[in-house]
């Protein structure tokens, strides 16, 4: 199933925040993505109804199995592209900024081939 790039960014941010802090809340997602709290609130309502997230009484957002699968896929791409770019000499901030753009626009087939190649080169 294909979802929009913005949705992938939200789910990836939830995963990253959860790994860093043990949970994610709307305010942290807004800060992480530089979105308004209102935009995040609307998105979280949609994600909850579509079964990508759950929200507890404390406002902590967790990914469902469905949401986690998408977030992990995007985050894997992000990390691989950032690491590869840094191995090529790109500074860390630029590598992460560029990987955010690359992670969404590439086919699964091309990503897997790039990953295989980089693994053979000892980069990832």
Q: What pLDDT sits at residue 23?
A: 87
pLDDT at 116 over 60: yes
Q: What is the pTM of this model?
A: 0.89
Kindly list the structural domains of the chain, giving each domain's residue range(s) and its CATH number in brackets, ordered by start: 5-69 (1.10.10.10), 73-120 (1.10.60)
In order, the DSSP letters of 46-88 are HHHHHTSEEE-TT--EEE-HHHHHHHHHHHHHHHHHHHHHHHT
Tell how many helices (H) and how many strands (E) occur in the chain.
Answer: 6, 2
pLDDT band at 48 (very low <50, low <70, confident <90, very high): very high
Long-range contacts of 37-43 (CB under 8 A, 24+ apart): 40/10, 43/6, 43/7, 43/10
Q: What pLDDT sits at residue 22?
A: 87
pLDDT digits (tens, 9 = 90+) for 6-47: 999 999 999 999 999 988 999 999 999 999 999 999 999 999
């Amino acid at each position: 199933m294909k979802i929009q790039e913005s949705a992938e960014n939200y789910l990836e941010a939830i995963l990253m925040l959860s790994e860093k802090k043990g949970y994610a809340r709307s305010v942290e997602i807004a800060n992480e993505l530089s979105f308004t709290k209102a935009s995040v609130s609307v998105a979280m309502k949609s994600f909850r109804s579509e079964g990508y997230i759950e929200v507890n009484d404390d406002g902590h957002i967790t990914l469902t199995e469905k949401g986690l699968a998408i977030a992990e896929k995007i985050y894997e791409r992000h990390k691989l592209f950032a690491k590869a770019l840094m191995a090529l000499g790109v500074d860390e901030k630029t590598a992460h900024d560029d990987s955010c753009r690359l992670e969404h626009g590439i086919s699964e087939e091309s990503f897997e081939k790039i990953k295989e190649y980089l693994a053979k080169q000892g980069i990832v």
